[in-house]
Every structure is written in structure tokens, then in C-alpha cells.
Amino acid sequence: MHQRHQQGFNLLWSHHSDDTTFRLSLNQQLHNTEHSRPVRNMSEAKNIIITGASGLVGPLLASRLLNSPEYRLVLTDLHPPILPPNVTHPSNATLLQGDITSPAFITTLLTAAQPLHAIFLFHGIMSAGSEEDYDLSLKVNVDSIRLITDQLRLTNPGCRVIYASSQAVFGQPLPQGKITDDVLPTPESTYGCHKLMTESYLTSLHRKGFLDVFIARFPTISVRPGRPTAAASSFLSGIIREPMRGVECVVPIEDRGFKSFLASPRTIAENLVRVLGLGSGCLPVHRRVIQFPGVSVSVQEMMDALGKFGGEDKLGLVKEVRDEGLERILRSWPTDFDLSTAERLGLVVDEGPGAEGIVWEYVRSLGKV
């Protein structure tokens, strides 16, 4: 079967999904590896599904949860889900590979996690990939969420749903200063539009009492380990990651004063754990969005931190070549946010100043300092 793939959240999704291709035997999945054994006493476990589990955020969150005996995880992705290494309770993870756009696979997935406590929805097609392929973005970023929640509200009414959205829901015109919770989202990209559509749909499910929804609007995550993604913001990790391994990074905007709103992977994972424990009534029933904390930093600040922690020689590997299409997307996004709601709810922010905390964390993870 011919398949065309696009990247998103470091995972791949297929245009031509065939239900039979990814229809998995639940028994086979549960006994395939030593890492798919459930906890001994299911009544004591909180069963949680994480989609997009071969990407970045899914394994980070799974690593946190699998160090506690109270969670049993079902990790799923189109490609083999990642079981985080060195966790305390690896046997509390079930790995299910399949197509989240397939109703048959969604049934298998939900069955594997009963009784379900919560689901984290991290799968998706990212910004540049969505702009290139509108239909694929619609299928993955919108339709798959509807399919999952349509089943979920019947099988597990009131289940907690935590959805990863994006600051790309905003666009021009933007007010001067920080974006507050009262600023109207006006997306200028396919990705942002589809994220906003899904936000509205999930909020309606919460308002109706079908599900218990929280929407986490992520900052740009930096520094992402691994390979570049199909995101317009990919260079905001590449500007550090690639030079640190001796590879050139192309910055698609010739403006070192250009600012972006960033958060480290570690801080994103910490805040997701905190949202999992929030009481449902901490937000109004018709406003379920939490802007996750980040720091507003410029390209120059990223380069300064690279030179400081990685070495001045690495700066020669950063090339600035304008890409008008990517620049249009990047300049439509806000550069800073008011974090009053996040602070009230007890979420945390990366330490500064500027980009230094984010870059230091990544360079240290490489064992370079």
C-alpha cells in the first residue's frame, strides 16, 4: 500500500489508512513484550492513554508517570511507541501501535485502558506540514479528535481529556504587550485554524458535561532533541541542537531581534502532571484553555546562550536565510503572554535570564558541561 507521510509532534501519519492494516489484537499487544504487563491490582491503578507516544512530549510525560506505582499507561502511535528507559515501573505500560484516525483502532485503544482515568492527546501534524497538506491536517488534527471523543463520551463519560494545543491559534492583529486570556484567537495558518476548531469542539463537550476537558496551549518547545520536525518553529530548537552536534542550522528569518515564546521539554512535562491533578472547577465550564508558561526570547538571545554554553565556535554553524513562507507564519504568532491563569493554577516556568535556562538544560543533557 502506497503511503505518503508528513511529520507532526515527531510522529508520522498516513494519508491512506486502512483499518485492517492497524487493527491490532488486544491479547497480542498485552503479551507481546515484558513491558506490556498490567499492574497486579487493576483497581488501584489510574489508567491513562497517551497518544503521539513516539514523539517528544509523550515519552517525557510517560517517564514521569511510570515512576509512580499508581499509574497504568497505554502508549500509542502510528510508529512503535517509546517506552522511556530507566523508569521505576516499566511493566505498568502497554504499547499499542496503530492509526488513531481509524475508528476500529480507537475501539481497541479505549478497550485496552479500561477503566479509563484520563487521556492525553498529543498526536498531530505540525505547522509547516499542515500548511503543505490541508486534508491531512484536517484528518489528523480535527477528525481524529472527534472520533476519539465521540467514542469516549459514550464509554467513559466524565473522563479527563488533556489536549495539546498551540499558540498558533493566534494571529494578527495582536495587541501591544502580552497576550491575555481575553484576546480573540485569529489564526493565520492551517495548523492554527484546525487547533482552534478542535479547542472549540472539546470545550463544547465539557460544557455539555460529556467529558472533563483541559486544553493546554503549548509554547514552542525548545530545545527538542532528535531530528527536525515539520514545524515552522523547528529552527528554534535547531539553532542549538544542530551546532552542538557539528551540523549547520538554517534560520529562516533575517532578524535577530525576532522573539518567540519558548518552554523547555522538562517544564512542559512538569506542567502536564500538574494539570492532571487539577480540580475540574478551577476553570469556567465554557473556557477550558490554559496558556502554558514560557519565556519570550530573541534569536540573538538564543545565539548568545549557544556561544556561552556551547562555545563561540558553534555560532559559525548558524546560517540566516530568509524563507518568506515560514516567516509569514512565524510573524503571525504572539511573542509573549500574560501567565496569570497559569500561575494561579500552580504551573511553573523555566528559569532565566532569557534563553539561558533552556539552553543550559539542553547542553547539560548532552554531558557537554
SS3 for 307? helix
Q: How far apart are CA 258 and CA 296, in angstroms?
A: 10
Contact 87, 67 (CB under 8 A): yes
The pLDDT, as a whole number, for residue 293 is: 97
Residues 158-184: tens digit of each pLDDT: 999 999 999 999 998 888 889 999 999
Domain 124-366's class? alpha beta
Q: How far apart are CA 122 and CA 130, in angstroms?
A: 15
**pLDDT at position 147 over 80:** yes
Residues 240-271: tens digit of each pLDDT: 999 999 999 999 999 999 999 999 999 999 99
Domain range summary for the chain, segments of one domain joined by +: 124-366
Q: How far apart are CA 161 and CA 159, in angstroms?
A: 6
The pLDDT, as a whole number, for residue 288 is: 98
The pLDDT, as a whole number, for residue 369 is: 59
Nearest by Cα to 168 from 249, 258, 260: 260
The single-letter DSSP state of residue 185 is: P
Residues 10-48: tens digit of each pLDDT: 333 332 333 323 333 333 333 333 333 333 344 568 999
Choose between 264 and 7: higher pLDDT.
264
Helix locations, 133-208, DSSP H: 134-137, 144-155, 190-207
| 79-83: Cβ within 8 A, 24+ apart | 79/11, 79/12, 79/54, 80/54, 81/53, 81/54, 82/53, 82/54, 82/58, 83/35
Give the pLDDT band of residue 4 (cuts 50, 70, 90). Answer: very low
Q: How many CA atoms lie within 13 A of 252 on its CB side?
A: 18
* Average pLDDT, integer, range 109-127: 95
Residues 306-329: tens digit of each pLDDT: 999 999 999 999 999 999 989 988
Choose between 351 and 50: higher pLDDT.
50
**pLDDT at position 367 over 90:** no
**pLDDT at position 5 over 60:** no
Q: How far apart are CA 42 and CA 70, in angstroms?
A: 10
Beta strand pairing status for 259-263 and 295-298?
antiparallel
**pLDDT at position 60 over 90:** yes
Contacts of 15 (CB under 8 A, 6+ apart): 3, 4, 5, 135, 136, 139
State which H helix or E strand residue 340 sits in: helix 340-344
Positive or negative torsion for Cα 107, 112, 117, 119: negative
Contact 275, 214 (CB under 8 A): yes
- Catalytic residue (choose from 71, 134, 163, 191): 191
SS3 for 344? helix
The pLDDT, as a whole number, for residue 26 is: 34
Q: How far apart are CA 11 and CA 53, in angstroms?
A: 8
User: Which residue spans within the chain are E strands per DSSP?
Assistant: 5-8, 11-14, 46-50, 71-77, 93-97, 116-121, 160-166, 212-218, 220-221, 249-251, 259-263, 289-291, 295-298, 318-320
* Average pLDDT, integer, range 1-16: 31
The pLDDT, as a whole number, for residue 110 is: 97
Nearest by Cα to 290 from 240, 343, 328: 343
Residues 330-339: tens digit of each pLDDT: 888 899 999 9
**pLDDT at position 2 over 60:** no
* Of 78-82, 149-153, 160-164, 202-206, the least confident: 78-82
134 catalytic residue (yes or no)? no
Give the pLDDT band of residue 299 (cuts 50, 70, 90). Answer: very high
- Looking up cell 469516549, which residue turns up? 152
What percent of the chain has pLDDT above 70?
88
Contact 213, 161 (CB under 8 A): yes
Q: What is the mean pLDDT of the chain?
A: 87
The pLDDT, as a whole number, for residue 32 is: 36
